[in-house]
């Protein structure tokens, strides 16, 4: 292609004059832009998960989580609870510092929120019950959190499948998780684009919000249809392929053994 002349540019475009009389007053969105952007970008970009120290197969990891949670709920023996705590701490040794920080941060926040919910029972039953439930809840949170930061999304699906969850259930989880992320991403990019063309105070911010969410809604309708069509086009027929899970794997056994030991202790320990 060779350059040739087609248009006559209008005069206004030929000079760059930026002395517009515009009002640069603050607005809510602009003041909070960093917060909103950070929030949306963390929704849009799933935090990295580590694949390094995976031990068991997906199904076994999920079973391990379920057993741990079940045990924590059922156990009334403080010593056994401590054993579970220690096992958890041992697992944490294998996390890298960055993950550990993430783990501790969200665990503490979760535990504080949980204990706030439990505190009213102090007036009904006394301090020991409150402490007891706080310990249990924070243990459950810790286990769930550990699973979350060490398990890629795909592995959760594989795990659910290996445990014979119905396909419908898996599909709903799969679509809604991918979907929410994608909508978050879309909204985030919309706002970025908006920011670039916001060159002064907006006179009709509410109209604008309407327009953005309208566009997002249209996008989301189309996206849901396209997503399903694309899944069908790639051979999806409503069934998630069952993925071979090696049952008698030594690693799986190692992964499960702490939970099993605690389980046995729980069953056999009668005072």
Q: Tell me if 64 sits within 8 A of 254, measured CB to CB.
A: no
**Cα–Cα distance for residue pair 199/193, rounded to 1 Å:** 12
Q: Tell me if 137 sits within 8 A of 119, measured CB to CB.
A: no
Q: Does 45 bind other proteins (CB under 8 A)?
A: yes
Considering the complex, state which of residue 115 and residue 186 has its C-beta at the smaller distance from other proteins. 186
Choose which of 38, 121, 200, 242 interacts with other proteins (CB under 8 A): 200
How many C-beta atoms lie closer than 10 Å to residue 69's C-beta?
16
Interface positions, 157-186, toward other proteins (CB under 8 A) = 186
Number of Cα atoms under 13 Å in the Cβ half of residue 153: 13
Q: Does 39 bind other proteins (CB under 8 A)?
A: no
Work out how close the CB of 218 gets to other proteins at its nearest, in angstroms, rounded to a whole number: 5
Q: Does 214 bind other proteins (CB under 8 A)?
A: yes
**Cα–Cα distance for residue pair 196/271, rounded to 1 Å:** 69
Tell me, by CB under 8 A, how many residues bind other proteins.
48
Work out how close the CB of 46 gets to other proteins at its nearest, in angstroms, rounded to a whole number: 9
Q: Does 194 bind other proteins (CB under 8 A)?
A: yes
Choose which of 85, 121, 174, 198 interacts with other proteins (CB under 8 A): 198
Q: Does 3 bind other proteins (CB under 8 A)?
A: yes
Q: Does 101 bind other proteins (CB under 8 A)?
A: no
Q: SS3 sequence, 169-211?
A: HHHHHHHHHHHHHHHHHHHHHHHHHHHHHCCCCCCCHHHHHHH
Work out how close the CB of 15 gets to other proteins at its nearest, in angstroms, rounded to a whole number: 8
**Cα–Cα distance for residue pair 72/140, rounded to 1 Å:** 7
Interface positions, 15-34, toward other proteins (CB under 8 A) = 15-16, 18, 20-26, 30, 34
Q: Does 205 bind other proteins (CB under 8 A)?
A: no
Choose which of 212, 224, 243, 245 interacts with other proteins (CB under 8 A): 212
Which pair of tokens denotes residue 188? Answer: 């985030």
Q: Does 54 bind other proteins (CB under 8 A)?
A: no
How many C-beta atoms lie closer than 10 Å to residue 248's C-beta?
6
Q: How far is CA 32 from CA 39, 84, 138, 211, in A?
A: 11, 42, 32, 20
Binding site for other proteins (CB under 8 A): 1-7, 9-10, 12-16, 18, 20-26, 30, 34, 45, 47-48, 186, 189-190, 192-203, 211-212, 214-215, 218-219
């Amino acid at each position: 292609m060779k350059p040739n002349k087609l248009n006559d540019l209008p005069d206004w475009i030929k000079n760059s004059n930026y002395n517009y009389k515009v009002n640069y007053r603050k607005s809510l969105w602009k003041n909070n832009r960093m917060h909103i952007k950070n929030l949306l970008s963390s929704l849009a970009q799933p935090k990295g998960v580590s694949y390094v120290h995976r031990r068991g197969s997906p199904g076994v990891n999920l079973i391990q989580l379920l057993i741990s949670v079940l045990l924590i709920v059922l156990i009334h023996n403080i010593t056994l609870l401590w054993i579970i705590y220690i096992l958890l701490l041992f697992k944490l040794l294998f996390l890298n510092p960055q993950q550990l920080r993430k783990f501790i941060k969200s665990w503490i926040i979760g535990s504080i929120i949980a204990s706030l919910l439990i505190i009213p029972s102090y007036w009904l039953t006394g301090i020991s019950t409150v402490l007891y439930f706080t310990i249990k809840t924070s243990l459950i949170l810790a286990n769930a959190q550990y699973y979350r930061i060490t398990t890629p999304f795909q592995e959760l699906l594989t795990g659910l499948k290996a445990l014979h969850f119905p396909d419908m259930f898996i599909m709903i989880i799969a679509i809604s998780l991918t979907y929410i992320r994608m909508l978050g991403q879309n909204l985030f990019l919309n706002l970025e684009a908006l920011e670039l063309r916001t060159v002064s105070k907006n006179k009709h911010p509410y109209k604008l919000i309407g327009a953005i969410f309208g566009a997002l809604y249209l996008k989301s309708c189309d996206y849901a249809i396209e997503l399903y069509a694309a899944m069908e086009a790639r051979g999806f027929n409503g069934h998630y392929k069952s993925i071979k899970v090696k049952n008698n794997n030594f690693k799986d056994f190692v992964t499960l053994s702490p939970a099993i030991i605690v389980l046995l202790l729980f069953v056999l320990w009668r005072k």
